[in-house]
Structures are given as C-alpha cells and as structure tokens.
Amino acid sequence: MRSAAVVAGGALLVGALTAIVFLIRAGGDPAGADTWPISWELRSSDNGVLFQVIQDIAAGRPLDWSFSPQVYVFPELPLSGVAFAVSAGNVYGYYLAVAALNMAVLFLCALALVRVLWPEHALGTSVLRALLGTVPLLVLPLIGTSWILSFHLAPSYYFGEYAALLLAPVLLLARTLPVRILTGAALALTIASNPLTLVFAAPGALAALVVGILRAGPRAVLRPVGWVAGTLLLAAAARLVFAPLQGISPLSYIDPDRFAGRLAVLWPYYAFQLRDPAAAVVLILGALLAVGCLLAAIAAAVLVVRRRGGAPARRLLAVVYLGLIPLGGIAATFFAMITHYYYFWPALVLPYVLVLLAVPMPAVSPALLGGLAGIVVIALATGAIPHLGSAGRYFGYRNAETACIDDALAGGSAVGYATFSDARRLSLTSRTPFRLIQLNTDGTAHEWLTNTAYARTDAGSFFYLNGSGDEPALDTARIRERFGDPDRVVACSATQEVWLYEDAGKLARISAFYRGRA
C-alpha cells in the first residue's frame, strides 16, 4: 500500500508540475511561439483530432474515422477519453489534462525502466531517479520556443512512441511473468497504433541482439527473441484490426520523390528554429547529447562482448538499445525513406532524459534538487508570475477568424466547409458552435484525420475561404460552378471570407453533391 502511494505521489507531482508549466506558457502573448498552448495546441489541426473523436462519441454521432498511418488507438485514445471526462468536454481543459496525463505516464514508464535496471535499489530511490529523468520534459516546454520541445505534451504527436521506447526494456528484464505480459500487450498495441515506434526501436534492439549473441551465443537469446517475436506478432494482428482507421498506408510514405521533398525542407525548418537563441542552445545541446548516447552504446557493447565493466550485462545491453535510439532511429528513417522534421523528438529531446536517468546514484538527489530549483528559476525568468495571472486568456480564447465566422452565423449553430488546416482549429473554439467539414482544395471531401461520416450525414450551408492559410484556399471557381454564387459574403480580412448559402435550391445542390460523393 505504501509503495503504491509513493508511486502515485510521484505521478501526481509530475502531473501537477506539468499543469503549472502549461498555465505559465498559456498566459503569454497569444501570438508568441512560446505561448504554445495557444499558438500550437489550439492552432494545429493535428492536435484536436482525438478531442473531436471523443466529442463525436459523446454526442452519439455516426463514427467513420479515418486517421493517418498513425491511428492513435493506444495509448493516446484512452488518455484523451480520460482528459475529455476530467475537463467535462471543454477543449481548453482537455489540452491541459492531456499534458498532465502524458507526463504522468512518461514518469511511470521511466520508473518501470529504472526498476528493472537497478532492482537492488529501494522504491523511493527509484522514484527519485525517475523524477530526475522527467525534469527536462518540464523544463524544455517551459522554454517552449520550438514546438518540438512540447511534442510529448500533445494528444497525438507520437506520444505513444515516446512512452514505448522507454518502456521496451521492461519486456525482457521484468522479473515477473504478469509484468512481462502486460508490458508486451501495451507495446504491441502501441506499435500497432504508432508504427514509427518500430523504426526508432529497431537499430538499438538489433544491436543488443547481436551483442548478446557475441557474448553468450545464439541459445542465450532465444527466450528474449521469443518475447519480442510474440509482441510483434500481436502488434501485427492488432494492426489488422486497426487497419480500417488508417487514412493512408504507412507504406505510401516510402516514396523517393516524397522523401526528397521532405529532406529539402528539413534544414530550412530547423534553421528557422535555431534563429531563437534559447531554441538554438537546447536543440544543439540535444544533438550533442544524442552523440553522447551513441558513444555510450558503443562503449557498453564493447564491455559486454569483452565481459568487462562492473555493471550487470542486462544494464549494459539496455544502454546499447537506449543509446542507439536517438541517432540510430533517425538513421533508420533515412533508410526507410520516411524522414520528417516532426520525427526528431527522440533525437533532440529524449537524450536529455536518457542522460539524467544514467546519473550515478550518489548524484541523483542533488541533481534532482538542482533540477527542481532550475524549473523555478526558469519559470520566474520566463514570466511565471505575470503569465499565471493572465492564464485566463487561454481559457475561452478565440482567434479573429473564429470570431468572424461566429458573427457571420449570427449565433445560430451551423455546419460548413473548410480546408483540413482550417476546419478543426476554427471550429473547436467556436461559440456558435459551428462545425466545419474538411475539404481538399478542389472542394472534394478530405478523408484524412477526419470523421468521413460528416459529409454523408451533415449538409453544410457555408464555406470558409482562407487565402492566408497553411494550404491553398478552396477553389472559388469550382464552388460557383457547382452551387452558384453565395447569397451572402462576409469578409473577415482582405484574404479571408465566409460564403453563406441560404437559397433552398443551392443548399440542396450542396447536400446532394457531398452526400452523393461520400
């Protein structure tokens, strides 16, 4: 009972600190990059997907959701369900709750890893080490000038992958069968939901396998290989079940032309991030720590093969696996031709966690006290007091576009159409409330990260045309050709308009077009 209380206390502490960090950043300038709860969480169309899924379930709407190659069934969907319930369906509270829950889960994964690597240590000591490992995951979002520093706090930016990469060694090192089975099931569901997990885990896992064979021969690795194979088979079976949810096959990402295009924007993206001094320091240091992790993995492999070093072989093999995740994982994405600038969290953020988890035991408590003091100092330096005082600006925040659409609809709830980049970010914070069905630029229904049942069951009455968005605006010529001129036009800015249709004949054509094509 006392052990459970200690673990729960650590998780609650991490969740509470995360909530404070979130609120500090939420109270900043809404236009600032470091005010990521507004400028990223509420703005990114990817972030609100699971909120909308739970919202549809709660409202009893028809469900025909189509995700991306990452289907986010586990662990993201259950966590989003809890966050939705805790926040009573409030989108602002939901993002706050998700951040706290994600961090609590990462703490528990770090604790599980620590317990199998240092089983001789008392639980309290292990909790302190796991808390130390979570410190950078609190500090970096507090700096928050690059969104990648906050990916682990978001509902659907590969969170399951991050947790699974830390948890994986528990599958082979746990002492009890029930723990191994539960870990294997969790890993299988996560891999089935987030195939990218396998790409980042594979180099380290294969290296640990080879090192294990070189040390003790093939027979010594048969049981670990069996556990891994069983987990992967379960993951494959789960993926078949999840397949109807994928909007596009993961294999479609493996394309030379797409790969070349993603590589072309990789350096410009991070060059832009490095223009901020704080982000430059954090990202460059993260890259250097990634190199350090690689060197540690190489050194551990040599020690295992030569049967040297005072640490147990299991710990050294874990170092081989974990140390290769940052750079080995990135190399694997190049090999698979799927590299994307969104995939660099394990290479630029995870190394901070791995290095602190490896701090020698006598230094854990002083390092943790220093880390907590650092959180306080950085929080004060980045405006904690005034930002907490103005955190209310986050709750109820609407951007000018959403306010314009709300006003155009004159308070009456309605359904309309917009591009993928606009639909979710504008509708989830509306007060009307209105809902926007995602369309491609040519005006056809968009079938990725959306409930495709919307177009079949809901008839829209307006279009939002955004000439200043993240993708080309809806084609006005095609809209006119199919449905005629709008009955009313509301200008939100020089490049943003709401086209409203009120004529019964035009509305019937809109309904017939989308319901007939859905």
Average pLDDT over residues 262-281: 91
- Asked whether the beta carbons of 176 and 164 are under 8 A apart, the reply is no
CA distance 240 to 192: 8
pLDDT of residue 247: 82
What pTM does this model have?
A: 0.96
pLDDT band at 318 (very low <50, low <70, confident <90, very high): very high
Average pLDDT over residues 451-467: 93
pLDDT band at 309 (very low <50, low <70, confident <90, very high): low
Average pLDDT over residues 284-290: 97
Residue among 434, 438, 400 at smallest CA distance from 419: 438
CA distance 336 to 327: 14
pLDDT band at 413 (very low <50, low <70, confident <90, very high): low
The yes-or-no verdict on residue 180 having pLDDT over 70 is: yes
- The alpha carbon dihedral of 379, 344, 72, 439 has a sign of positive
Which residues, at least 6 apart from 277, have a Cβ–Cβ distance to it below 8 Å? none
Average pLDDT over residues 283-299: 97
Mean pLDDT over all residues of the chain? 94
Residue among 467, 496, 499 at smallest CA distance from 484: 499
Average pLDDT over residues 474-481: 96
pLDDT tens digits, 117-135? 999 999 999 999 999 999 9
Average pLDDT over residues 276-292: 95
194-218 b/e with 16+ CB inside 10 Å = b?
Answer: bbbbbbbbbbbbebbbebbeebeee
- Asked whether the beta carbons of 119 and 175 are under 8 A apart, the reply is yes
Q: Give percent of the chain with pLDDT exceeding 90.
A: 85
Q: Which of 173-182, 256-265, 358-367 bottoms out in mean pLDDT, i.e. has the lowest?
A: 256-265
- Asked whether the beta carbons of 424 and 473 are under 8 A apart, the reply is no
Concatenating the DSSP letter of every residue in 349-382 gives THHHHHHHHTS-HHHHHHHHHHHHHHHHHHHHHT
490 beta partners: 498
pLDDT tens digits, 37-68? 999 999 988 899 999 999 999 999 999 999 98
pLDDT band at 313 (very low <50, low <70, confident <90, very high): confident
pLDDT of residue 79: 98
The yes-or-no verdict on residue 310 having pLDDT over 70 is: no
CA distance 440 to 264: 24
CA distance 310 to 185: 33
pLDDT of residue 31: 87
Q: Give percent of the chain with pLDDT exceeding 70.
A: 98
Determine the straight-line distance between the first and last CA of the chain, rounded to whole angstroms. Answer: 54
Average pLDDT over residues 501-511: 94
CA distance 4 to 162: 24
The yes-or-no verdict on residue 311 having pLDDT over 80 is: no
pLDDT of residue 250: 81
pLDDT of residue 411: 66
The yes-or-no verdict on residue 412 having pLDDT over 80 is: no
